[in-house]
Structure 1
Amino acid sequence: MRNKLRAATALLGAALLAGTPQAIALTGAADHATGADAAFSSPVSAADPAYEVLVFSKTAGFRHSSIDDGITALRDLGAEHNFTVDATEDAGAFTGANLARYEAVVFLSTTGDVLNGAQQTAFEQYIQGGGGYVGIHAAADTEYDWPFYEGLAGALFHSHPAIQSATVKVEDRAHDATAHLGTSWQRTDEWYNYRSNPRTTARVLASLDESSYSGGNMSGDHPISWCKDYQGGRAFYTGGGHTDESYAEPAFRRHLLGGLRWAADRTQADCRPETGYQTLFDGSSTNGWKQAGPGGFTLADSTLTSYGGLGMLWYSAQEFKGDYSLKLDWKMAGDDNSGVFVGFPASDDPWSAVNNGYEIQIDATDVPERTTGAVYGYKSADIAARDAALNPPGEWNTYEIRVTGERLEVFLNGQKINDFTNTDPARSLAQGHIGIQNHGDGDDVSFRNVRIKHSGSTPGPRSGEVKGVNGKCLDVDGSQTADGTKIQLWTCSGSDAQKWTVADGTMRALGKCLDVSGGGSADGTRIQLWSCNGTGAQQWSPQADGSVRNPQTGKCLDASGGTWNDGTPVHLWSCHTGPNQKWTLP
């Protein structure tokens, strides 16, 4: 059932045909694509080994007219991408022997209780044996009394408003289901509310901006598509697909294909839950970063792509001390060369990072200690584990680089591939900067979504006043603690209402978090106090120019108006150079 064929070098020749998209100059404006069909530009880079998929669409409750369109779309995708589809509404297909034929099983807008006890057991054993699950739309309105299924699906249906257009915020642009999309996706569908939030158990790929439509009830954190590893198998879910028209949308069909490829183990991704990361590069600008050496990086579609060199783009705004987890997404165009540096001192000489830090290599075809996943020149990756986790050139990958004291662990698409301990007294992983390499002409490597999560002593929570324009303090109105309390400017007084703790990308006062109301992104969106929930609406990234950016929206914390008296509310606003967006943090 699991025909992996994951050796990267075997796929390299086909991947080289993918080519490299033309980029724009770093000084140009970043492209935040909002029309998904316009952003649809991510073909599968090499043919997948043939496989079989079971599409199950039995309904014991409401029946969606779009089921037939969904089956047709999946069959069309199969004809284009080397898999065959068996479609059935016969629950008798759920036997151990029959399920073993399939790399993935799609629950296409199933409703109600569709499997009996023996069939449920067979499906559980299929997943536990490494099988794949894809849930589409009303798959979340299925099997409410089967705890295994609720865990597999990630969340179950609660309610829905009328069909309407909404803004989908794309949180993960490395997964094959969402890599083709822009940072936001405007589309029309029936948008489910769910009984629970899957964020703590799954990697959220996309969520809804509840301020962009009516009827969302998930307090501003509204996942709509996610993936997870579950009891030995893989589970992908998307809330889209109610309307007949969905299955004719190229971007939605590509979304389904990516989820199916991942569930069928034809592409890899990091589907571990992720919260608490501070964004270092959010796609909108390179504030806080500096180029060392020749060459550089172009910025387009919220993506940095290397050119020329040998040089390095390094994060100069902060030196990292103690333990941390660094994550970033990367893609090679072909047989290219780059790397991620950690643990080096501040310097405008890229060779300082080479000589004083450590490089986690990105290179498809070099010798083991200098190829992808290696600590360059020191320790090869576990090649078998690396090949099993690696996507070929033309597809995105995710690194986690975890530093614990002098220990450096490398995870590729969620799988551990290297474990190295520094014993060189002249080097130390316990403190230093991070950077990404531009290796030379013709080495085209792209990066997205650079983020870091501190632990232990790095750099430790910092508490005190947050001062803004005219020396006034960021203040919780009336020292109230109710969710939704206004955040404002006020003459500094030393009160607890003005004592903020900055840690793990959040800003906290009175036990609650600084929050973008409803997870909105429009200029003027209210900033408020809210119970901490780990969402992007509560993530704040200090910038080198003194602004404080919300990475999810790319917009800044802003004191409204132009007089800035006591009581002036703060809100979200497009970033500029004005004094009302300059903040001094503790």
Structure 2
Amino acid sequence: MKRIAKVIGWTLLGLILLVVAAGGLFIYKVQNGFPVSYETEKPVITFPPNQPAILVFSKTTAFRHGESIEASLPVFSAMARQYGWFVYETEDGGVFNPEQLTHFKAVIFNNSTGPVLNEAQQQTLSQYVEAGGALLGIHGAGDGSHHWPWYEQHLLGTRFSHHPLSPQFQQADVHVETAVDSTLTRQLPASWGHTDEWYVFQGQPKDVQIVSYIDGTHIVPNGNILWVKDKNFGMGKYHPVAWCRSVGKGKTFYTSMGHAKDAWQDPAFVRLLENAINWTLH
């Protein structure tokens, strides 16, 4: 009997250690990603004449918002048909070369997470933006897994901290700022209800124009998990969820909304992104 109890005890201990190790591995992946390789071969792209080209880049090496990415692609295709854009969707970083990137009017990091570009590709993207290109980021594009100072400064203007865990998804009213370029607010309601995984950043984004925000006192921002005990704060009453800025001759736009596939069924969220792309094209 004692032997059976001993075996059960060791088995339970092993399972506990396995769960803890799995949890630690998951947190490491979310924070740092697991880069396997960087694609460097130029893809074959035929750019149609007289159509603004939009690059939708969905590569992930950290947490993958797979359902959201899949739900987004037909939405971007529908926008392209409506406005006459050429949308090129890829997860291949080889497109970030000086010759091809200049053909694109805007680049969208579509829930792209983790280190996804090598140093030369990062330099190509930063130079592209500063020379007059545009970079847009959706949700996971603003998490803490990218580890690229230029990107963090010029797309986010702040640093990711955490997201709520209990509950992870919460409903909040998204309010639209009026003192921004009307292209960004065109046909948007003054406010609308939206359910998402609300990212919490370490401070208000700097040197940006806020496009929309929520009342952070109306959500539960606690993100404590396992041994992480210092993620129980929010951003206060004024909690930005979309913002933009000029970078050199170019533009950037970021929204922390868009975690789940349901976001792409929200007409106001889709309109916000549609407006943001149009804003970068003018």
TM-score bracket, shorter-length normalisation = 0.7 to 0.9
Name the CA distance, whole Å, in 2 between partners of 1:213 and 1:55.
31
Distance 1:189 1:115 in 2: 27
Which of 133, 137, 140 aligns to 2:139? It is: 137
Q: For the residues of structure 1 that align with 2:234 and 2:273, how far apart are their CA atoms?
A: 25
Which secondary structure state, in structure 1, belongs to the residue aligned with residue 184 of structure 2? coil
Q: CA deviation at 1:179?
A: 3.1
Change beyond 3 A, Cα 1:92–1:131: same
In 2, Cα distance between equivalents of 1:158 and 1:217 = 9
The answer to whether the Cα contact below 8 Å between 1:112 and 1:143 also exists between their aligned partners in 2 is yes
Considering fraction of residues, name the structure with more strand.
1
Q: Which residue in the other structure is 2:273 paired with?
A: 256
Tell me, in whole angstroms, the C-alpha distance in 2 between the residues paired with 1:174 and 1:90.
Answer: 33
Q: In angstroms, what is the RMSD of aligned CA positions?
A: 1.7
The structure 1 residue matched to 2:73, chosen from 71, 74, 94, is 71
Aligned counterparts of 1:183 and 1:242: Cα–Cα separation in 2: 22
Question: Which amino acid in 2 is paired with 1:236?
Answer: F
2:258 pairs with 1:241: yes
> What do residues 224-250 of structure 1 show as CA deviations (whole Å, max 9, x unaligned)?
101100122100111111110111222
In structure 2, how many angstroms separate the alpha carbons of the residues matched to 1:56 and 1:152? 18
2:155 corresponds in structure 1 to: 153
For residues 442-485 of structure 1, the C-alpha deviation after alignment (integer angstroms, 9 at most, x for no partner) is xxxxxxxxxxxxxxxxxxxxxxxxxxxxxxxxxxxxxxxxxxxx
The equivalent residue for 1:194 is 201
Q: Deviations over 1:352-380 (max 9, x none)?
A: xxxxxxxxxxxxxxxxxxxxxxxxxxxxx
Counterpart of 1:126? 128
Q: Which letter maps to 1:252? A: F
Equivalent pairs, count? 216
- What is aligned with 2:244? 227
Task: State the 1:168 CA deviation.
Answer: 1.4
The equivalences for 1:269-288 within 5 A come to none
> Which residue in the other structure is 1:177 paired with?
184
For the residue of structure 2 that corresponds to 1:120, the secondary structure is helix
Q: Distance in 2 between matches of 1:237 and 1:169?
A: 16
Cα displacement (A) at 1:222? 1.1
C-alpha distance in 2 between matches for 1:204 and 1:62: 26
Which protein is bigger by CA-based radius of gyration? 1
Runs of at least 5 residues in structure 2 that lack an aligned partner in the other structure: 1-49, 222-232
Report 1:3-42 matches (<5 A). Answer: none
1:80-123 per-residue CA deviation (whole Å, 9 max, x = no partner) reads 11111101111111001110110000000011111110101111
Instruction: Indicate the structure whose relative CO is greater, using CA pairs within 8 Å and at least 6 residues apart.
Output: 2
Quote the residue 1:415 is aligned against: none
Say whether the 8 Å CA contact 2:113–2:146 is kept in structure 1.
no
The answer to whether the Cα contact below 8 Å between 1:136 and 1:241 also exists between their aligned partners in 2 is yes
Distance apart, 1:50 and its partner CA: 2.9
**AA in 2 matched with 1:229:** S
In the other structure, the counterpart of 1:213 is 219
Is the CA contact (8 Å cut-off) linking 1:114 and 1:143 kept in structure 2?
A: no
Q: Given that residues 55 and 89 in structure 2 are in contact (C-alpha distance below 8 angstroms), is that contact kept between their aligned partners in structure 1?
A: yes
Cα distance in structure 1, aligned partners of 2:182 and 2:219: 26
Hey, what's the Cα distance between the residues in 2 that align with 1:146 and 1:121? 11
User: What residue is the counterpart of 1:340 in the other structure?
Assistant: none
- Per-residue Cα deviation, 1:377-429 (whole angstroms, up to 9, x for no partner): xxxxxxxxxxxxxxxxxxxxxxxxxxxxxxxxxxxxxxxxxxxxxxxxxxxxx
Pairing of 1:517-556 with structure 2 (within 5 A): none
Distance 2:171 2:130 in 1: 38
Equivalent-residue separation in structure 2 for 1:83 and 1:138 (angstroms):
24
Q: What residue number does 2:173 align with?
A: 167
Query: TM-score, normalising length from structure 1?
Result: 0.36
Matched with 2:56 is: 55
Give the aligned partner of residue 40 of structure 2.
Answer: none
Contact 2:188 2:271 in 1 (8 A): no
Distance in 2, matches of 1:101 and 1:195, equals 35
CA offset at residue 143 of structure 1? Answer: 5.5
- For residues 269 and 71 of structure 2, the distance between their equivalents in structure 1, rounded to whole angstroms, comes to 13
Identical amino acids, percent of aligned pairs: 36
Find the residue that maps to 1:70 and give its secondary structure. Answer: helix
Classify the secondary structure of the residue corresponding to 1:66.
Answer: helix
Alignment-derived partner of residue 378 in structure 1: none
